[in-house]
Structure 1
Amino acid sequence: METGLAIRFFACMVALLVFPMEVFCADMSYNLPEEMKRQHVIGNVAKDLGIHVKQLSDRKARIDTEDNSKRYCDINLNSGELFVVESVDREELCRSRFSCILSYELVLENPLEVHRILLQIQDINDNAPRFPNERINFEITESADKGQRFRLLDAHDSDIGHNAVKSYSLQKNEHFTLSVRDSGDGGKYAELVLEKELDREQQKEMNMILTAT
């Protein structure tokens, strides 16, 4: 009985020696604006880790993905610089989510050491607002009262935060003005406001240009 226990204990010790556990260290976080070109320098991992750059090549440093996803960055072993290898499109990766983070692992060998690298992808204003339809049609009776409001369809912008839709403007005319209001989700919407009564006999149809910025 005692001999069996000793053998199992020895086998466990051998397994730990042959398959050492990964040592995870502190995360390193970098901000990366989307659409940056290849070779753009994100940061210097050697400086941030406080190690001599020569250790990167001596310890066979490499960048691994956690889930075999596409890798957008790599490391220069001669300088320690983390750089872009593929341009990032935030809207393609994260759609309308405010937080867009890519996670990688910096692996150092002998001894094995793993640092997690977090790339926080920052939105840039690279998309124009779009309305659901090119034309917005209203049928308004000439008996409509002055001050009556008509809600317009919102424009959609793939960008987020301060790069989303800021305002709307309406082509100047004598019958309508535009009222821009804040929506509950932090966006904005517009309403047509009737300022002068309509007369169908004088004008059967009006065409105006609505612009989203």
Structure 2
Amino acid sequence: MLISYQVIFVFFFPDMNVRGIGVAGEMFGLLFFVLMAHTAYGDVSYSFPEEMKRGFVIGNIAKDLGLDVNRLSSRKARIDTEGNRKRYCDINLNTGELIVAERIDREEISGKKASCVIKNEFVLENPLELHHFILNIEDINDNSPQFKESVIKFEIRESAGKGSSYLLEEAYDADIGRNAVQSYTLQNNEHFILNVLTRANGRKYGQLVLNKELDREEQTEVTLILTAVDGGTPPRSGTVAIHVTVLDANDNAPVFSQAVYKVRLPENSPLDTLVVTVSATDADEGQNGEVTYAFGHLPQKVQQLFFIDLVSGEIKLTGLIDYEIESTFELPIQAKDGQGLASYSTVLIDVIDVNDNAPITILKSLTSPVPENALPGTEFGIINVQDRDSENNGRVRCSIQQNVPFKLVPSLTIMTHT
């Protein structure tokens, strides 16, 4: 979470008489009200789809804020972004329109989060003015469902009874909502049907259900095609082959000790830190009871952060985690026995914030030199102070050296003349 503070420099005379202070106080009160009317997020917000071409007109911010378009250039109007973000939009000083400046990929910015928000600042000078506006990036159906493997393999004994079910790998789609996976279909065949289920988080997955007993003497292998389809317009799809080898009898799938493993992990944890050990048992004997572990589908950047031991189920940290970049991780875990029967569990990792970011100051605007007859309360600069840490770790106190005719005024508090 990024905590941002705006600080204004004001010029004052400690020895000004009471009458002068009163007049200046009234003038400053009016000025402060105007400034503060434009220092909260949500002044203006715009919603538009991701992947729009450079130059696409997002909206007319000058019109929406009631500004004089003819004075944008003389007031040095510009767009600033918070933190280390790219500047995804710019302003046309001739028209006051916001335009797309960089390719915007919602999945790259926000992953699977339900909303994708980019915060920006609109700065003008002469007089100083600061507005915050928000870009709400809408998802489009620009990703197809994908399976982790090209082939799903099962070894099923001919003694398996009708109704036996086999968990299928879930297809992954980087899009969200209706643009994510909505349905699965199975190629018509005489032995299996598809049962589509929905998890608590809304994601859909399939079970292969035996509808007619297998006979190894009649058929030793069965190959099927599973198709995942999303809900976009037009829809996108992905396929995976299911290869069933018919055996002459594995009755039990591995069972995890927990359906969900919850872990808290400090963001400064060193490499090779043991995150958690998952465990599953199989009631079968011999090869049928030997359990191995693997991750389910993970984004490439998450795969670089964690490692799971095939035999022990230990999950270790192999990359650096940063709370300010990603505060939670969800790792799907598969346990499979020697004949291919599998079960799934989930590891939920909450990253704990530590105070690893120092405050930074950004000079937003500065008027220099300051006239010697400037009235008390005259503002001549704006400083933005940011700390990327969260809660108490992100709280910032600002101060200025003593015995100078200036003071700092936090823009989120009411100012009084001194």
TM-score if structure 2 supplies the norm length? 0.46
**Offset at residue 8 of structure 1 (A):** 8.3
Report what 1:55 is aligned to. 71
**Offset at residue 122 of structure 1 (A):** 1.0
Structure 1 SS opposite 2:147: coil
1:96 alignment partner AA:
K
Report what 1:34 is aligned to. 50
Residues 1:110 and 1:182: Cα distance change in structure 2 (over 3 Å): same
Can you list the C-alpha shifts for 1:103-160, whole angstroms capped at 9, x where unaligned? 1110111111111111111111111111111111111111111112111010111111
Report what 2:200 is aligned to. 184
Structure 2 SS opposite 1:47: helix
Report what 2:14 is aligned to. 9
Residues 1:10 and 1:191: Cα distance change in structure 2 (over 3 Å): farther
Among residues 147, 164, 167, which one is paired with 1:131 in the alignment? 147
State yes or no: 1:117 paired with 2:133: yes
Structure 2 SS opposite 1:137: strand
Structure 2 SS opposite 1:46: helix
Report what 1:76 is aligned to. 92
Structure 1 SS opposite 2:35: coil
Distance (Å, rounded) in 1 between the aligned partners of 2:110 and 2:139: 10
State yes or no: 1:23 paired with 2:35: yes
Distance (Å, rounded) in 2 between the aligned partners of 1:176 and 1:68: 52
Residues 1:144 and 1:57: Cα distance change in structure 2 (over 3 Å): same
Among residues 96, 100, 111, which one is paired with 1:95 in the alignment? 111
**Offset at residue 35 of structure 1 (A):** 0.5
State yes or no: 1:211 paired with 2:227: yes
Q: Higher RCO, 1 or 2 (CA under 8 Å, sep at least 6)?
A: 2
- 1:157-196 equivalences under 5 Å are 157-196=173-212
Distance (Å, rounded) in 2 between the aligned partners of 1:157 and 1:113: 43
Which runs of 5 or more residues in structure 1 are unaligned? 1-6
Distance (Å, rounded) in 2 between the aligned partners of 1:71 and 1:115: 16
1:114 alignment partner AA:
L
1:98 alignment partner AA:
A
Structure 1 SS opposite 2:149: coil
**Offset at residue 189 of structure 1 (A):** 0.7
**Offset at residue 10 of structure 1 (A):** 5.4
Distance (Å, rounded) in 2 between the aligned partners of 1:158 and 1:10: 64
Can you list the C-alpha shifts for 1:62-93, whole angstroms capped at 9, x where unaligned? 11112242101000111111000111011111
Structure 2 SS opposite 1:209: strand
Among residues 146, 156, 175, which one is paired with 2:162 in the alignment? 146
* Number of aligned positions between the proteins: 201
Structure 2 SS opposite 1:93: helix
Higher helix proportion, which one? 1
Identity %: 57
Superposed CA RMSD: 2.2
Report what 1:199 is aligned to. 215
Structure 1 SS opposite 2:73: helix
**Offset at residue 47 of structure 1 (A):** 1.4
Report what 1:3 is aligned to. none
2:166 alignment partner AA:
F
Distance (Å, rounded) in 1 between the aligned partners of 2:84 and 2:207: 48
**Offset at residue 9 of structure 1 (A):** 2.8
Higher strand proportion, which one? 2
Distance (Å, rounded) in 1 between the aligned partners of 2:77 and 2:178: 38
